[in-house]
Chain A
Amino acid sequence: MKLILKPISAVTVFAMIVFGSAYAQVTPKLTDPEIASVAVVANQIDVNYAKIAKTKSKNADVLKFAQTMSDDHTAVIKQAVALVTKLGVTPKDNAVSQKLLSDAAKTKKQLNSKSGKAFDKAYIDNEVAYHKAVIDAVENLLIPQSQNAELKKLLQDVVPTLKAHLAHAEMVQKEFAK
């Protein structure tokens, strides 16, 4: 009898990132108020990374990318806040939001310790990795678990924006690979 090994799912990977490998088998269960919190926190983190880039970078492509991240993620937060206000939902803090924030604090520290080209490379590398992780989380955790149809639709609408950001970040990243 052949042993069939299932490929590791993206949700499991996200669970590993969020909760550590000891809890890899546990997929976090989130309510709509918690999903709203994760969505706002995840967007705000990238706005904050952009803020650092705008003060530290002198590279035109990096600065332009950072401005786009700041504008777009602010626009997404605005839409999310408008929706939860309409639905009467109060975003609720949770383990996933907390983990995102504590990881972001470490990343911010690393970014602030660098300068010049080393900073630009670190910022763009992180943007590529961060957008990959967020796309994975939105597609495999937040969308499947959201109960409200409008919340689900907002999350679905955000995915193409995140994917365009990832492709844009990868384009800028090539500049630093030379």
Chain B
Amino acid sequence: MKTSLKWGEIGFRYIFLLLFLYGCATPEERAIKVPVSDSTVSNPVYSGPSEPQLHVVEIKDMKFQPEEISVKKGDTIMWVNRDMVTHCVTEENKKAWTSSNITAGAFWKMVVEINSDYFCAIHQVMKGKIIVE
């Protein structure tokens, strides 16, 4: 009984320490920790069925890949620019939101709330679509 309490206390302290350290990181630092590899694209990173998921859209060869993505409300999409030129991600109809410039090799992420048609305002023929399931 005494031992299990002790272990419980250690566990609690460990979780507290982890949460404390996470809280010290800026949103950018947290984002950098997200692994961005080819496997991330096909296997979105998530921690559970009810948790918000992270989806990756690659900007490559002047295309959003995938061009159409289905997500749940509250999920995050991260656009990663793999091209040698600067791109952006902008809501197409009302310009409701924009990433501003995403330079070569950089990324931008957004929590998704509603369906959106978006485009690259720099290269207006590049278009994408977000569908909230």
Contacts and interface: CB of A to CB of B under 8 A. Distances in A.
Interface of A: 68, 71-72, 75-76, 79, 157-158, 160-161, 163-165, 167-168, 171
Contacts of B76: none
Q: What 4 A-B pairs are tightest by C-beta distance, nearest first?
A: A164-B62, A160-B61, A167-B125, A160-B62
A168 B63 contact: no
A76 B125 CA distance: 19
> From DSSP, what is the main secondary structure of chain B's interface residues?
loop
Contacts of B125: 164, 167-168, 171
B124 interface: yes
Given A157-B84, A161-B85, A75 B104 contact: yes
A24 B63 CA distance: 36
22 contacts: A68-B122, A68-B123, A71-B86, A75-B84, A75-B85, A75-B86, A75-B104, A76-B84, A76-B85, A79-B84, A157-B61, A157-B84, A158-B84, A160-B61, A160-B62, A160-B63, A161-B62, A164-B126, A165-B123, A167-B125, A171-B124, A171-B125
Contacts of A71: 85-86, 122
A75 B126 CA distance: 18
Given A160-B61, A161-B62, A163-B62, A168 B84 contact: no
B80 to A, nearest CB: 16
> From DSSP, what is the main secondary structure of chain A's interface residues?
helix
A80 B7 CA distance: 60
B83 interface: yes
Contacts of A165: 123
B124 A168 contact: yes
Contacts of B124: 168, 171
A163 B63 CA distance: 11
A113 B3 CA distance: 90
Contacts of A75: 84-86, 104
A76 B86 CA distance: 11
A128 to B, nearest CB: 13
A79 to B, nearest CB: 5
A72 B85 contact: yes
A21 to B, nearest CB: 34
Contacts of A68: 122-123
Contacts of B84: 75-76, 79, 157-158, 161
**Which of A68, A79, A163 has most chain B Cβ within 10 Å?**
A68
Contacts of B122: 68, 71
**Which of B61, B85, B122 has most chain A Cβ within 10 Å?**
B85
